[in-house]
Structure 1
Amino acid sequence: MVTRKFTKLALLATAAIACSLPAKAASDYPTSTLAEYVYGCMKANGENRDMLQRCSCSIDVIASIVSYPRYEAAETFKQMGLVSGENGALFRESAPAKAATAELKRAQAEADIRCF
């Protein structure tokens, strides 16, 4: 009986402490990266309050799936792959480029399902 009361009190104390601690950031993405993503998403999908919510949700989902360094690498491969000719081929056709791009596409697909 005493053990149950102690266990309940311990659980309540743990919950109280957890609720009083500041929440850990959902991601380590810089604010500028988050804003850039939301801005581009809204430009592509509509500039209204609903799209603000959906685009913000989208980057949050992506951030929960892909770490910032991996996101940054995938975005770099994607942008550099736009360079024409042999200069961009490395960024389009290499195994690391394909893997990073595929990971980002999977995260974006998951974000589309959850947010749009």
Structure 2
Amino acid sequence: MAEDLNDYPTSARADYVFGCMKANGETQELLQKCSCSIDVIASIIPYDRYVAAETILSMSQVTGPVGSEFRSTEPARLALQEFRRAQAEAEVRCF
């Protein structure tokens, strides 16, 4: 169903595009590529798992035992692996 393929809120898509453009360049061409990228990711990973992966990425930056939990557990590793595969697919299709 269409809502299953578009379950990412606009704000989440915009946040991804802003971050992507900040990292790669702020041009019209990059706007198109980054928009394509989040669309591909959204077609591969349901939004709840995307949020989990983004949270793990953010929390793994924290030093000490809290950050360690997000860097070293098997569920965290698997979530990041899924997210990175989706990003790689998006890069192949969009960049």
Structure-1-length-normalised TM-score = 0.78
Aligned to 1:58: 37
Residues 10-29 of structure 1 show CA distances to partners (whole Å, capped at 9, x for unaligned) of xxxxxxxxxxxxx9243200
Alignment pair present for 1:105 and 2:84: yes
SS in 2 for 1:72: helix
Alignment of 1:1-116 (within 5 A): 24-25=2-3, 26-116=5-95
> 1:85 Cα shift?
1.5
Give the distance between the partners of 2:88 and 2:71, measured in 1 at CA: 20
Structure-2-length-normalised TM-score = 0.94
Where in structure 2 are there 5+ consecutive unaligned residues?
A: none
Structure with the larger RCO, 1 or 2 (CA within 8 Å, 6+ apart): 2
Give the distance between the partners of 2:9 and 2:52, measured in 1 at CA: 14
Where in structure 1 are there 5+ consecutive unaligned residues?
A: 1-22
Give the distance between the partners of 2:64 and 2:11, measured in 1 at CA: 31
Q: Which has the larger radius of gyration?
A: 1
Deviating 4+ runs (over 6 angstroms): none
Give the distance between the partners of 2:72 and 2:63, measured in 1 at CA: 13
Aligned to 1:19: none
Amino acid at match of 1:103: E
> 1:76 Cα shift?
0.6
